[in-house]
Amino acid sequence: MARPATLDYAALIELFTAMGEGLERKHATATVYVFGGAAMLMHGLRRGMTEDIDVYSLRSDSLRETVAQLTAEYDLAPEWVSSTGSGFVPGPGTDELIQEKVFGGLTVQIASPRNLLAHKLTALRPKDLDDLHELMKINEISHSSQALAIVTELYDEETNVPQIKLEDIERWVSGWLARHS
């Protein structure tokens, strides 16, 4: 039975390396944009683990095949690499501060702390509160207008994102600032 993924930084590096090597054996390359908990770990902004690797795109057939092989080899749950959240992410084209790491045939683009802040603020999920705390600090947010400016810049009216409630974001950011200033 496949076990759920509990991935720390070392496991991420091991799996990215294995993906890159798998792609090289197929004489293929792929690029993924990583966000969520995996990006937090890659930036050193999260201690602990993530359940999956959130990626913006799995368009490469070779990459999908490699992920399937690693799922069996490492006995991981099928969703350990997930693109389900990619519809809610501004994406790599909006990320001026993106970092790239190359693992053989795999290029991993890591969402910047700025884009991670916008993504997590638009979700405002209880499980993201620790990440939001770190992202508010690293992005030096001292007023709710700063956070709202990042969100509205990255999620404009053309971006396909479900009902962002800016007043909810402003209320949360103002409350966070009141507790942490």
pLDDT at 1 over 50: no
* Residue length of the chain: 181
Q: pLDDT category, 56, cuts 50, 70, 90?
A: confident
Express each pLDDT in 69-108 by its tens digit. Answer: 999 999 998 889 988 877 667 666 777 788 999 999 999 9
Range with the poorest average pLDDT among 2-16, 63-77, 88-102, 107-121: 88-102
Structure tokens at 178: 């009141």
H or E segment and range at residue 54: strand 53-55
Q: Cα–Cα distance between 38 and 43 in angstroms, integer?
A: 9
Q: pLDDT category, 157, cuts 50, 70, 90?
A: low
Question: How many CA atoms lie less than 13 Å away from 113 in the CB half-sphere?
Answer: 17
Q: Domain map of the chain by residue range? A: 9-112, 114-180
Output b/e per residue, 98-114; b: 16+ Cβ within 10 A.
Answer: eeeeebbbbbbbbbbbb
Structure tokens at 15: 């799996």
Q: Cα–Cα distance between 106 and 136 in angstroms, integer?
A: 30
Of all residues in the chain, the percent with pLDDT exceeding 70 is 89
Phi-psi region of 80 (alpha: psi -120 to 50; beta: other; left: phi over 0): alpha
Phi-psi region of 137 (alpha: psi -120 to 50; beta: other; left: phi over 0): alpha
Q: Cα–Cα distance between 50 and 12 in angstroms, integer?
A: 9
pTM above 0.85, yes or no: yes
Q: pLDDT category, 117, cuts 50, 70, 90?
A: very high
pLDDT at 174 over 70: yes
Cross-strand partners of 50: 7
Mean pLDDT of all residues in 145-168: 77
Range with the poorest average pLDDT among 53-62, 80-89, 124-133, 159-168: 159-168
Mean pLDDT of all residues in 16-45: 95
Give residue 161's pLDDT: 54
Please provide the average confidence, as pLDDT, over all residues in the chain.
88
